[in-house]
């Protein structure tokens, strides 16, 4: 009788730093809420609350808390932590200069007045806003949404390790998974290779094209839409997730695709944010990450492919995740299919291209979206979402 060898275990990419950070401490289980009595309290902004979750669940491994001054300056100036680990965006907790002195030792972090976590303050230091804007966002223009948020924040950064009391499943409990939970799904499905796709925009046919081209190369697809704070004119997260649900239900192989939300806030830092998105997806356990045109960009602040070119600053071993770079993809009316500049010989007059701004305009006006641009089912979800806003 022949004995078949046991299948080898699924080896997922090691988290950045080697260990997946876990700093979730449940009240009533891991500690007593009475321990927090009398401690200073700090109400978190939307972005700070999202950062707290990303830090505590390991999405931002190897970070265990908000950056200290040396790490902050190293990230701004070199895109690396002080020990040389790649890291492209400063994760900080700014407060007003007037309030900073009140935060010493352990601080209770609150959301809507309710305790959601703690920060052990180890440093308080001056935020270098002009330097951060110039190096991270590549502009000091206050009209840039990321720069505007930076300038509007406090002038002093608090630093130190954090804890989170409970993972906030929010508006999407069925799809809200921590990095450890996504890794469990990948292992259970036996995906030896997987790719993550991030978007803050509504799903359209060009996205679907990228997904399915990539699924010819890897075992599984993690659809990972960002659902944290975005610009006021971006399509609401609820509508975007509903569009994904409709699409997955009808057009994607169930056992080779996974919809899971990415709770980070959007910074619109273009190339720098693309690197962070890739590194954090490594922490979620995927082997590949798609970077398309103007990833995490806004307006005309960044070149079309700057977000792809920035990865040349790191070796493949440092990144620990393979970057898949795609050209701009669109429907060509002469080719009769989705194409890119690599595959289509026709000029722009043959191409159906709608900007995000134009899509929003058509939705607000109640105009239909072309089926070559997006599936009718997706267009209906978006139409209904905008109609509900009126």
Pairwise CA distance, residues 277 & 144, whole Å: 20
Q: Where in the chain is the domain with CATH 3.40.50.620?
A: 179-389
Considering the chain, tell me which residue range(s) the CATH 3.10.400.10 domain(s) occupy: 33-164
Name the residue among 197, 42, 227 with its Cα closest to residue 120.
Answer: 42
Q: Are 177 and 271 in contact (CB under 8 A)?
A: no
What is the C-alpha to C-alpha distance for residues 320 and 95, in angstroms, rounded to an integer? 34
Contacts of 362 (CB under 8 A, 6+ apart): 354, 368, 369
Residue 116's nearest CA partner among 180, 50, 63 is: 50
Determine the Cα–Cα distance for residues 374 and 387; give it in Å rounded to an integer: 18
pLDDT in tens, the chain (390 residues): 455 565 567 789 999 999 999 999 998 788 888 899 999 999 999 999 999 999 999 999 999 999 999 999 999 999 999 999 999 999 999 999 999 999 999 999 999 999 999 999 999 999 999 999 999 999 999 999 999 999 999 999 999 999 999 999 989 999 999 999 999 999 999 999 999 999 887 788 999 999 999 999 999 999 999 999 888 777 789 999 999 999 999 999 999 999 999 999 999 999 999 999 999 999 999 999 999 888 999 999 999 999 999 999 999 999 999 999 999 899 999 999 999 999 999 999 999 988 777 887 888 888 889 999 999 999 999 888 887 776
94 - beta bridge partners? 157
Domain 33-164 class, CATH top level: alpha beta
Three-state SS at 50: helix
> In sequence order, what E strands does the chain have?
41-43, 65-66, 93-95, 105-111, 114-121, 123-126, 156-164, 194-197, 220-223, 257-259, 288-291, 322-325, 330-332, 337-339, 351-352
| The predicted structure's pLDDT at residue 162 | 98
Q: Residue 62, preceding bond cis, omega within 30 degrees?
A: yes
* Predicted local distance difference test score (pLDDT) of residue 322: 98
Q: Give the Cα separation of 376 and 368 in Å (integer).
A: 9
Return the CATH number of 179-389, one of 3.40.190.10, 3.30.70.20, 1.50.10.10, 3.40.50.620: 3.40.50.620
As a whole number of angstroms, the distance between CA 58 and CA 264 comes to 12
| Positions marked catalytic | 200-201
Distance CA 170, CA 386 (A): 22
Three-state DSSP class for residue 282 = helix
Whether the Cβ atoms of residue 316 and residue 324 lie closer than 8 Å to each other? no
Contact between 382 and 369 (Cβ < 8 Å): yes
């Amino acid at each position: 009788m022949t004995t078949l060898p046991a299948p080898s275990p699924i080896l997922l990419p090691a988290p950045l730093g080697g260990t997946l950070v876990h700093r979730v401490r449940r009240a009533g289980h891991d500690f007593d809420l009475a321990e927090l009595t009398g401690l200073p309290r700090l109400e978190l902004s939307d972005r700070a609350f999202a950062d707290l979750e990303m830090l505590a669940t390991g999405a931002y491994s190897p970070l265990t808390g908000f950056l200290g001054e040396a790490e902050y300056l190293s990230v701004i100036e070199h895109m690396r932590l002080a020990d040389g680990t790649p890291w492209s965006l400063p994760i900080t907790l700014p407060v007003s200069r007037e309030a900073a002195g009140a935060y010493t030792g352990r601080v209770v972090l609150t959301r809507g007045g309710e305790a959601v976590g703690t920060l052990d303050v180890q440093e308080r230091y001056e935020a270098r806003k002009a330097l951060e804007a110039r190096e991270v966002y590549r502009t000091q223009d206050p009209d840039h949404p990321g720069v505007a948020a930076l300038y509007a924040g406090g002038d002093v950064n608090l630093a130190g390790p954090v804890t989170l009391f409970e993972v906030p499943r929010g508006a999407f409990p069925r799809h809200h998974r921590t990095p450890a939970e996504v890794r469990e799904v990948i292992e259970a499905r036996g995906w030896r290779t997987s790719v993550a796709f991030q978007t803050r925009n509504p799903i359209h046919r060009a996205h679907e094209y990228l997904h399915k081209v990539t699924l010819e190369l890897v075992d599984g697809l993690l659809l990972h839409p960002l659902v944290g704070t975005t610009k006021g004119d971006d399509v609401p997260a609820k509508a975007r997730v509903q569009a994904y649900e409709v699409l997955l239900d009808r057009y994607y192989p169930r056992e080779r695709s996974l919809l899971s939300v990415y709770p980070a806030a959007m910074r619109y830092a273009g190339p720098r944010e693309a690197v962070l998105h890739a590194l954090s997806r490594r922490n979620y356990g995927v082997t590949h990450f798609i970077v398309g045109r103007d990833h995490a960009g806004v307006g005309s602040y960044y070149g079309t492919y700057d977000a792809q070119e920035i990865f040349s600053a790191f070796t493949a071993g440092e990144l620990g995740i393979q970057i898949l770079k795609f050209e701009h993809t669109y429907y060509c009316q002469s080719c009769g299919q989705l194409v890119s500049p690599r595959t289509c010989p026709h000029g722009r007059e043959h191409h159906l291209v709608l900007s995000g701004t134009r899509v929003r305009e058509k939705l607000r006006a109640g105009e239909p979206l072309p089926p070559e641009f997006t599936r009718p089912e997706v267009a209906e979800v978006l139409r209904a979402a905008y109609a509900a806003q009126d």
